[in-house]
Copies of this chain bind each other. A is one copy, B any other.
Amino acid sequence: MNKIITIGREFGSGGREFGRRLSEELGIAYYDQEIITEISKRTSLSEQYVESIVEHQSSFSFPIHIGRSFYPSVNLAFEQSMTVYQEQARIISEMAARSNCVIVGRCADYILKDYKPFRIFVYADMESKMKRCREKAPADEKLTDKELKQQITAIDKRRAKYYEFYTGHSWGDKLNFDLCINTTQTVIKEIVPAIAKLFEKS
């Protein structure tokens, strides 16, 4: 069975960079944006729309029974979310069946549980997440510290809701992961070789 590494991450913690570097170090596939592109192809929904469903999903706030009420647009949004999630699950399963790989986010730890993936969670304190976001932001971004903090908190809140809706598990709970890495005081590329060594024997 292929070796699968899944990475859950807080926004701004550098989880995506960590996943990419880890896959490079191990010489295995890395899936992230490719999943969105593939869902878009299969569902004929635009990549932007798929991404907005996957990353900024809000329809989880609505109880399922609202689908029987008189709000067809809410119903449609909910159904599209479900379609996208199911397509995503199918694509992730296909990727895992193909070769060893690192998959970032997207409930992959849950979707691929039969593979017994090695589940990593990457997190950091708010200050360092803000710093990382500032470094990556476009030069003309003018968010105040307060606004940036609110944005980070809101994104993670949505991720948590998304994860909990589809998996029934608490997002970021360390018991759902094999390794939790705090990047607050860490240079990511310096820790990757050590973490990669964990997979030498397995």
- Residues of A at under 8 Å CB distance from B? 116, 123, 125, 172, 174-175, 177-182, 184-186, 190-191, 193-198, 200-201
Contact = CB atoms under 8 A, between A and B. Distances in A.
* Identical subunits present: 2
11 contacts: A116-B185, A123-B175, A175-B182, A177-B182, A179-B179, A179-B181, A191-B198, A193-B197, A194-B198, A194-B200, A197-B197
A152 to B, nearest CB: 14
A174 B123 contact: yes
**Chain A facing B: main interface SS:** mixed
Given A116-B185, A178-B185, 8 more contacts: A123-B175, A174-B180, A178-B181, A179-B179, A179-B182, A193-B197, A194-B194, A197-B197
Contacts of A185: 116, 178
A200 B198 CA distance: 15
Contacts of A174: 123, 172, 174, 180, 182
A190 B175 CA distance: 20
A50 to B, nearest CB: 31
B186 A182 contact: no
A113 to B, nearest CB: 12
A125 B190 contact: no
Contact of A125 (B123, B172, B175, B193): B175
A175 B195 CA distance: 19
Contacts of A178: 181-182, 184-186
Nearest to A180: B180
A138 to B, nearest CB: 29
